[in-house]
């Protein structure tokens, strides 16, 4: 009788541990990071790439760090396509938008996180566009 109870307890533990493992996200479900890009004054930046059901990864968050410490996380709307440091690393400019039909160019003050500008980037670049927006067109 005691042996049967032990076996049942052991089987229950194995089943429960298997169920717990089954609910853990696989490596493919976890976000990854793009290559880190160095900036001025010890800054570096990268995007966090989240997997999607179609098997592709999409950059949803821009992370800015200085001397190894994260100082700013910027959420895309919903995705971050291109980005660059601007004004000697005091600002960051990035393109954000969905997969189709919209794109915004955004300029953010890194220290405060305050949005300084938000311009349409879906249409052709105007001749009188700000310098940061023109530079962003050639960024990675």
- The structure's pTM equals 0.77
pLDDT of 18 over the 90 cut: no
What per-residue confidence (pLDDT) applies to 131?
Answer: 95
What per-residue confidence (pLDDT) applies to 54?
Answer: 86
Q: pLDDT tens, 81-107?
A: 999 999 999 999 999 999 888 999 999
Q: What string of DSSP letters covers the chain? A: -HHHHHHHHHHHHHHHHHHHHHHSPPGGGS-EE---EE-GGGEEEEEEEEE-TTS-EEEEEEEEEETTEEEEEEE-SSEEEEEEEETTTTEEEEEEE-SSS--EEEEEETTT--EEEEEE-SSPPPTT--HHHHHHHT--
* Domain locations in the chain as residue ranges: 28-137
Cα separation, 125 vs 14, whole angstroms: 61
What per-residue confidence (pLDDT) applies to 16?
Answer: 46
What per-residue confidence (pLDDT) applies to 31?
Answer: 95
What per-residue confidence (pLDDT) applies to 23?
Answer: 43
Q: What pairs with residue 27 in β-bridges?
A: none
- Residue range 110-125: average pLDDT? 93
What per-residue confidence (pLDDT) applies to 17?
Answer: 45
């Amino acid at each position: 009788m005691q042996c049967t109870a032990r076996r049942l307890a052991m089987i229950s533990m194995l089943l429960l541990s298997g169920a717990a493992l089954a609910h853990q996200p696989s490596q493919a479900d976890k976000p990854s990071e793009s290559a880190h890009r160095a900036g001025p004054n010890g800054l570096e930046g990268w995007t966090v790439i989240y997997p999607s059901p179609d098997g592709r990864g999409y950059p949803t968050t821009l992370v800015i760090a200085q001397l190894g410490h994260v100082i700013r996380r910027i959420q895309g709307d919903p995705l971050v396509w291109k980005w660059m440091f601007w004004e000697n690393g005091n600002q960051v400019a990035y393109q954000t938008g969905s997969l189709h039909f919209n794109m915004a160019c955004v300029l953010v003050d890194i220290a405060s996180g305050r949005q300084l500008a938000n311009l349409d980037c879906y249409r052709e670049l105007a001749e009188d566009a700000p310098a940061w927006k023109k530079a962003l067109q050639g960024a990675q």
